[in-house]
Structure 1
Amino acid sequence: MHPPIHRVQRVFPIYPTYLLLEFDTGEYRIADFRAEVERSGELFEPLKQWAFFRQVQVDEDQISIVWPNGLDVDPGVLYVESKPITIHQLMDS
Structure 2
Amino acid sequence: MHPPTRRIQRVFPIYPTYLLLEFDTGEYRIADFSAEVERGGKLFEPLKQWAFFRQVQVDEDQISIVWPNGLDVDPGVLYVESKPITIRQLMES
TM-score range, shorter chain: over 0.9
Return the alpha-carbon distance in structure 2 between the equivalents of residues 15 and 42 of structure 1.
Answer: 21
1:23-74, Cα deviation, whole Å (9 max, x unpaired)? 0000000000001111222111100000000000000100000000000000
Return the alpha-carbon distance in structure 1 between the equivalents of residues 41 and 14 of structure 2.
Answer: 23
Return the alpha-carbon distance in structure 1 between the equivalents of residues 80 and 38 of structure 2.
Answer: 20
Moved over 4 A (4+): none
Runs (5+) with no aligned partner, structure 1: none
Tell me the secondary structure at the aligned position of residue 91 of structure 2: helix
TM-score scaled by length of structure 2:
0.98
Return the alpha-carbon distance in structure 2 between the equivalents of residues 47 and 14 of structure 1.
Answer: 12
Percent identical among aligned pairs is: 91
Tell me the secondary structure at the aligned position of residue 11 of structure 2: strand
Tell me the secondary structure at the aligned position of residue 46 of structure 1: helix
Count of matched residue pairs: 93
Runs (5+) with no aligned partner, structure 2: none
